[in-house]
Amino acid sequence: MQKLLKESSLRPGVIKLTDNNFDSVVSAPRDYSVVVLLTAEAPQMGCHLCREFGPDFNLVAQSWHREHPKGGDGLYFGILDFTDGQKTFQKLQLKTAPNLWLYSPTTGDNAGPVQPFSYEIVGVPDVPGSIIRFIESHVSGVHITVYRPRDYSKVIVTVLFILAAVGSLKYIYPFIRPVIESRAVWAGISLVLILMFSSGHMFNNIRHTPYVAGNREGGVQYVAPGFSNQYGFETQAIAVLYAFLAFGAISLATKTPRIPYRTRQTMAIGTWCTMILCMFSLLLFIFRLKNRGYPFSLPPMTK
């Protein structure tokens, strides 16, 4: 078997079987286990399942060969393609492919039946893992770890993408630098995030709460009663109220002191203060809908 593995290796760890050597490999007596894939991968055969199952089988065989490079150590893997074993397929009366058989030892402490065990090729998400479990269930003392080859194409594509992004950034940085270094932009982004998370956006995403709900009278309920629930509309309304209140407070603190004319400044202060009063009134109105026993309110949005 080690000679076949060395001389007729189809792939690392896989013996190429033919009509000439198949019987000598699987015939009894044998003191080793051999996993045989009977397949038809030639394009003219039109076996799509064979071409899909073959790489998974090769992965298992190569993983075993990686840990046992000098020999199979009692477990070998072989492939018999229909183009190389038509007589064997006819003798075994095989009319479908692929077929995966495991021939266990017939001599020694782990001796098993002469006839092979058959692996049922079904659609499973982890084909290599399923093949390994099949082998380990019939061959004692065998443990196979899958070693998947590294896909360097993804690494190359990623490196090229990073280099292209860095090169593009070098040319467009002078145009986007004022935006990146703008305090107003970062303040706006921070304010939006604060309003989003403080209004209950994450609560709605985690709980998957509805946008609105129906009430007992057959109407629409926009505000959920109590403090253990909150509808999507309620979250948006609270975010808008918080935004108006924040914008009003910022305007009073930063904009109105810069107005040069006293009359305009007084009108602006009165306008912003009125808006803040109305927004706080709406906020308390929603709060009282959730907590009916809350005694305080602000005009004119309390009824």
Q: Where are the alpha helices (DSSP H) in the chain?
A: 2-7, 22-26, 48-67, 86-91, 127-138, 152-180, 183-198, 201-207, 232-250, 262-290
Question: What does residue 108 show for φ and ψ, rounded to 5 degrees?
Answer: 95, -175
The pLDDT of residue 216 is above 50: yes
pLDDT band at 60 (very low <50, low <70, confident <90, very high): very high
Residue from 73, 77, 71, 72 nearest 17 by CA: 77
- Residues 75-93 have a mean pLDDT of 91
Q: What is the pLDDT of residues 23-47, one digit of tens each?
A: 989 988 888 899 999 999 888 888 9
pLDDT class of 224 with cuts at 50, 70, 90: confident
pLDDT at position 148, please? 81
Query: At 137, is the secondary structure helix, strand, or coil?
Result: helix
Q: For the whole model, what pTM was predicted?
A: 0.52
Distance CA 43, CA 47 (A): 8
The confidence score (pLDDT) of residue 19 equals: 92
Whether the pLDDT of residue 105 is over 50: the answer is yes
The answer to whether the CB of 88 falls within 8 A of the CB of 72 is no
**Residue 302: pLDDT over 50:** no
Residue 263's φ and ψ, nearest 5 degrees, are -65, -45
Which residue type occupies 199? S
In the chain, what are the domain boundaries?
2-138, 151-178, 182-290
Pick the CATH number of 2-138 from 3.10.450.50, 1.10.10.10, 3.40.30.10, 3.60.15.10: 3.40.30.10
Percent of the chain with pLDDT strictly greater than 70: 96
pLDDT band at 89 (very low <50, low <70, confident <90, very high): very high
Structure tokens at 189: 């982004």
User: What's the whole-number mean pLDDT along residues 287-298?
Assistant: 79
